[in-house]
A and B are shown apart, each in its own frame.
Chain A
Amino acid sequence: MYKYNDFDAGFVAERNKQFRAQVQRRISGALSEDEFKPLRLMNGLYLQLHAYMLRVAVPYGTLNSGQMHQLANIAQRWDKGYGHFTTRQNIQFNWPKLPDVPDILDALAELEMHAIQTSGNTVRNVTADHLSGAAADELEDPRPYAELIRQWSTDHPEFQFLPRKFKIAVSGSAQDRAVTRAHDIGLRLVEKNGETGFEVIVGGGLGRTPMIGKILRAFLPKADLLPYIEATISVWNLLGRRDNKYKSRIKITVHEHGIDEISKLVEARFKELRPSFNGADQSLFDHIKPAFAAPAYKQHSTELFEQNYSNDPVFRAWVDTNVMAHQNVDYGIATISLKAHGQTPGDASAEQMHLIADLAERYGHDEIRISHEQNIVLPHVHKSDLPAVHASLKTAQLATANIGLISDIIACPGMDYCALATARSIPIAQQIATRFDELKLEHDIGELKLKISGCINACGHHHVGHIGILGLDRAGVENYQITLGGDATETAAIGQRTGPGFSADDLLPALERLITAYLDLRSEPKETFLQTYRRVGATPFKAALYPERAVRANAA
């Protein structure tokens, strides 16, 4: 894992010291809220519905057990005993008190964590495939590149006052698990003539105007990574609209100027910038890379695994659903579901975090990942240890076998916490998960990505859900709009709206009709919801959602 050097450590310590003084001055009245707000946001501190909220970065979703223990300690000591893992691979603490925040930041810094650039119009936490360094289909571990981008972008003087926030995701596999096509810049490691480089995608994004990114450069040599990103951001920094917050993201700039024009400008700027990157970035990269070396895999028989797999159906179901193929055939990648039926998606209690940290230490080469799907991953578990891991997870409500299924819902905090929300999302997710668990249908339904946001900002990725749910406020009442056919992977697509929204009470029955329609429509049990939708189109699904309309149309 990447270790801070003296500069990194000193930088964070200095920032924390500054912020401590700023908090003191705010409390004493020397700073007004207007003066303080940008300063707190620079340190990831928001004010939400009921309390302050601190957003802590987990760079490219990678943590070690010590860091996870520390997050648990913070939840216990300064919060209400839990934390919320987000689609940005961050963790949010929902209840800190303002005077405690400097102490929390110091506690984070003790283990090389911080909240810098988790807010504001800067380059945000760089995200990556949560199976990085472990996935069987990986071309190369994308995290050293993500770390390079993180170091370059942190406190980059030119990029502290961008037109708007800027999000970068990196993937090293053919299968895109990092939603690269819905980021401001998506980077995919690809191979061409025996050389690996990047496919650079630009202008994707969710929120008010959802867009799928376009290819800016089909193949970028790895050594050109930083100057090319710098060129792209600097072109947008000049062209990006500062007159209208809703038109300021790079997706709008690309849309308004056209990808060809943007590409021309970026290439020209790149030519100018390239010589100033005189190799320092490459030596930095050479320094970073070894920190991501594969762990010392152990040699051990996998017999215990096979025995348990054949004899214990609960273990087998968990393995089939939650364990993915590892580069090392004796190993598995275990995803720990933070979506126990009826629980808040993405929340982990301090006890659960401690337990996961212990498991990582004991069975997981001390590595943990946070997935953008709000789950936690132990990327390197020897198969012979999987039964012990599973048994331990069961004791803490962490062994739900539902990864990729209908109850593995991404849900933003919504009106239960978020000051921008127009409706709740968590209780809706809880209801759906509980209901489909009761129906015992979810394994039969198979892969289905259901995602919910509590407002148009789309923090819950609903646009790229196979089924997306958007909570709105209709004359003071919660109302839920359904989109279908969204896709977050390499075949990315924005879901299509089906029709008028549903009340909170009508939503669940509507979803049940929708799922029943899918089960009837699919050509064989293996055909997924998305495949069926793509094959038959929206019409039969709309008919299921709005039966009264179908009746009317037939009568006419």
Chain B
Amino acid sequence: MARSFSPKIVTANALIEGDVIYLCADDTWTRDLQSADVITDETDADVRLISAASQTSVAVGVYLADIELHPDGLKTKHFREEFRKLGPSNYFHGKQAG
């Protein structure tokens, strides 16, 4: 039996703008968490991570982040990911609106 695996997404920063980005099912990147591909299988996660990390002219600092599936959409588990998604909490930099 496989160990229980909590769902994950692949995330990184965009090379040109530095923005937080998420990997989609077709290996392209999105800035919208809700469009991210949710990975539920551990082997799949490793493969996706390696292939994402090979896109070095698009993304930097690729890693896996835990995610929860809610009826109203995806929610990252760790508060760090919330800040990455929303932008800094001391200014309204636009991302917060989205």
Please give the residue numbers on chain A whose beta carbons come within 8 Å of chain B beta carbons, in ascending order. Answer: 26-29, 32-33, 47-52, 80, 94-99, 344, 415-417, 421, 424, 426-427, 430, 473, 476-478
Contact of A477 with B83 at beta-carbon distance under 8 Å, contacts A50-B18, A50-B19 already known: no
A-chain residues with CB within 8 Å of residue B61 when the two chains form the complex: 47
Whether B16 lies near A426 (C-beta < 8 A) is: no
CA distance A322 to B97 in the complex (A): 38
Q: Please give the distance in Å from B72's CB to the nearest CB on chain A.
A: 21
B43 interface contact, C-beta 8 A = no
CB within 8 Å of A: which of B64-82? 77-80
Which of B2-10, B32-40, B44-52, B88-96 faces chain A?
B88-96
Whether A427 lies near B18 (C-beta < 8 A) is: no
Whether A97 lies near B16 (C-beta < 8 A) is: yes
Whether B16 lies near A476 (C-beta < 8 A) is: no
Contact of A52 with B18 at beta-carbon distance under 8 Å, contacts A33-B60, A415-B80 already known: yes
Q: B80: nearest residue on chain A (CB-CB)?
A: A415
Please give the residue numbers on chain B whose beta carbons come within 8 Å of chain A beta carbons, in ascending order. Answer: 13, 15-20, 56-57, 60-61, 77-80, 83-84, 87-91, 93, 95
Whether A27 lies near B15 (C-beta < 8 A) is: yes
Other-chain residue from B16, B56, B77 in contact with A32 (beta carbon distance below 8 A)? B56
Contact of A97 with B90 at beta-carbon distance under 8 Å, contacts A29-B56, A29-B57 already known: no
A-chain residues with CB within 8 Å of residue B79 when the two chains form the complex: 415, 476-478
Whether B56 lies near A47 (C-beta < 8 A) is: no
Interface residues of chain B: helix, strand, loop or mixed (majority) = loop
Other-chain residue from B16, B19, B80 in contact with A27 (beta carbon distance below 8 A)? B16
Contact of A417 with B16 at beta-carbon distance under 8 Å, contacts A47-B60, A80-B93, A477-B79 already known: no
Contact of A49 with B84 at beta-carbon distance under 8 Å, contacts A97-B16, A416-B89, A476-B78 already known: yes
Whether A416 lies near B16 (C-beta < 8 A) is: no
Q: Please give the distance in Å from B22's CB to the nearest CB on chain A.
A: 14
Other-chain residue from B56, B77, B88 in contact with A416 (beta carbon distance below 8 A)? B88
Whether B17 lies near A51 (C-beta < 8 A) is: yes
Can you show 12 pairs from A to B with CB atoms below 8 A apart?
A26-B15, A27-B57, A47-B13, A48-B18, A49-B84, A50-B13, A50-B18, A50-B20, A50-B88, A415-B83, A421-B80, A424-B89
CA distance A230 to B61 in the complex (A): 37
Most buried by A among B80, B88, B93: B88
Q: A476: nearest residue on chain B (CB-CB)?
A: B78
Whether B13 lies near A97 (C-beta < 8 A) is: no
Whether A426 lies near B56 (C-beta < 8 A) is: no
Whether A427 lies near B84 (C-beta < 8 A) is: no
Most buried by B among A27, A32, A98: A98
CA distance A400 to B78 in the complex (A): 36
Q: Please give the distance in Å from B4's CB to the nearest CB on chain A.
A: 18
Q: Please give the distance in Å from B67's CB to the nearest CB on chain A.
A: 13
CA distance A74 to B90 in the complex (A): 21
Q: A347: nearest residue on chain B (CB-CB)?
A: B90
CA distance A421 to B83 in the complex (A): 11
Q: Please give the distance in Å from B66's CB to the nearest CB on chain A.
A: 9
Most buried by A among B17, B18, B89, B95: B18
CA distance A51 to B16 in the complex (A): 9
Whether B19 lies near A476 (C-beta < 8 A) is: no
Whether A98 lies near B15 (C-beta < 8 A) is: yes
Other-chain residue from A28, A29, A426 in contact with B88 (beta carbon distance below 8 A)? A426
